[in-house]
Amino acid sequence: MTGTAFLPEGVEPLAVGERAPDFTLVDQHGTPTRLADLLADRAVVVVFYPFAFSGICTSELREIRDRLGDFEADDLTVVTVSCDSIYSLRVWADLEGYFFPLLSDFWPHGAVARSYGVFAPTTGFAVRGTFLVGRDGVVRWTQVNEAGRQRDFGGLREAVTVMRAEAAGDSAPASTGGSATLSAGLPARAAGL
């Protein structure tokens, strides 16, 4: 994949057009969440991040919390994934007021992050990967940043707009840049560049 030179060795994210691996992980309350079950009703934004309580991760999840309407709708839902334990995630969610699923990829350590190609084996955590998965289970948009670089959710918002237009049978709006190729033919963006 081009444009991933800044990512740690061993990190090779899923690309647009690839099938998103199904998974079942428990959330901060210990409730199992399965991707396939979520996809039965709507598209899913899967957000991987390195660690609970870290500065950039807190900022990113606060953006999701504060703009939850961008991530939760009749046709869209969001889940976040880290290698933290459910106990850490529960405390963090309670402190920050996160009312969306914080999923624990704790054991087997990073297995889901590995399947999405965003687990950094040398450091033991997921890099910042965002995947828009259509109801058909195919990755429609992706952005991947190294751990120290905050993601921009603007491209995701644009991709959701395009996906909704396609679902309604409309021609896709012109891209303003920043999103990966969707079936409507928007310009490619290689892993967050």
Distance CA 143, CA 163 (A): 16
Which residue of the set 16, 57, 102, 144 is catalytic? 57
Query: Which tokens hold the place of 121?
Result: 């084996």
Distance CA 30, CA 98 (A): 15
Specify the pairing of strand 119-120 against strand 125-126: antiparallel
Contact between 129 and 13 (Cβ < 8 Å) = yes
Helix (H) or strand (E) holding 143: strand 139-145
How far from each other are the two terminal CA atoms of the chain, in whole angstroms? 12
Distance CA 12, CA 133 (A): 17
Is 57 part of the annotated catalytic residue set?
Answer: yes
* CA separation, residue 75 to residues 68, 124, 134, 171 (Å): 13, 33, 10, 18
Q: Indicate which residues carry an active-site annotation.
A: 57
